[in-house]
A = this chain, B = another copy of it.
Amino acid sequence: MNIGFDVMGGDHAPKATMGGAILAQKELSGPDRIVLIGDEELIHKHLEAESVDSELFDIVHSPDVIGMGESPTRALTKKPASSISVGFKMLKTGEIDGFCSAGNTGAMLVGSIYSMNAVQGIIRPATTSIIPKEGGGVGVLIDVGTNPDTKADVLYQFGLLGSIYAKYVYGINTPRVGLLNIGTEEDKGSVLCQSAFRLMKDNSDFHFIGNVESRDFFKDRVDVFVCDGFTGNIVLKNMEAMFRLMVKRGFIDDFFARFNYERYGGTPILGINSTVLIGHGISNDVAIKNMILHTKSVFKAGISDHIRIAMDQYSKGRIFPSEDD
């Protein structure tokens, strides 16, 4: 596959992005190629400095950059020569099979939806994070910030998207989907959760196990934690903050080391007709490497195809409008 990679995006670009691309390239084999999208001169300079043969990569010149703070829609329109704009153009024409960036998250989201569209029937694409389980393996948290406000039918679809991701990328058969709530009984929690529970109960699209709490995160009880993007983002940054405090104190063992975002590198935007991954703005070279390799995993797993197939069945299916719509 051709993995498109935005060299210009991220707080530590281009040093960390080029470093990560070089690390990732060493782990690729066969016909897989990394397509470096960014300022050509800068790319060549970095490859030369590291004594890396530029023939190992494809290089596409895009002199412009969308800054971290720029308004996504405006930037995409006004900067057609930016690395993110060029990446999406190449994704659309099929010159690349997947695209990843640690740059402006909003531009990556908007670009994904505008250039590749959401899968037919998907109301809102979503992003994820990984929660390590104490006994090994991982849980998937969905959504982690893409959708701060959701309706119950959107949460319902997150259950489906998270299941497909957990199954085909993490190899979890029949993932157990829990609704992240503040009590376990059906009538507990927010009005949103109560509505979502009614939609999820006895559904035929994924294996719903009921309400779960944040104290269940690290147990092997749940594989997919469904929540709105506001809650998910708060949880994610809370765990990151605690992880940083632990690192500072040397309180890291094999289990807690798995809280390190570098290991996972990035999250796919689930629910669009392509493979697009976004990484943490602060990504270092290891995080970048893992994001590029994860882009390959998500592509090879055929996630967007699996979502399309599920939505074909789903559209014939049992979903009914949520009561709070």
Contact = CB atoms under 8 A, between A and B. Distances in A.
A124 B216 CA distance: 29
A289 B215 CA distance: 25
B251 A246 contact: yes
Interface stretch (A48-56, A228-236, A269-277): A228-236
Contacts of A234: 180, 182, 213-214, 227, 231, 234-235
Contact of A149 (B190, B239, B241): B190
Given A229-B182, A241-B214, A148 B251 contact: no
B149 A230 contact: no
* Size class of the A contact interface (CB-based, 8 Å): 35 or more
A134 interface: yes
Residue in A148, A189, A228, A239 whose Cβ sees the most chain B Cβ within 10 Å: A148
Nearest to A185: B69
Interface string A69-94: 00000000000000000000000000
Contact of A215 (B189, B216, B231, B240): B240
A228 B148 CA distance: 14
Nearest to A69: B185
A110 interface: no
A194 B93 CA distance: 39
A261 to B, nearest CB: 12
Interface string A225-259: 00111110111011111100110010101011000
A83 to B, nearest CB: 23
A191 B149 CA distance: 7
A281 interface: no
A217 interface: yes
Contacts of A216: 241
B237 A214 contact: yes
Interface in A170-208: 180, 182, 189-193
22 contacts: A148-B191, A148-B193, A149-B190, A182-B230, A189-B230, A190-B230, A193-B230, A213-B237, A214-B233, A214-B234, A214-B235, A214-B237, A214-B238, A214-B241, A215-B240, A230-B231, A234-B234, A238-B238, A249-B251, A249-B256, A251-B251, A251-B256
Given A149-B190, A180-B234, A230-B231, 18 more contacts: A148-B189, A148-B193, A182-B229, A182-B234, A189-B230, A190-B228, A190-B230, A213-B234, A214-B238, A215-B238, A215-B240, A216-B241, A217-B238, A217-B241, A218-B245, A235-B238, A249-B255, A251-B251
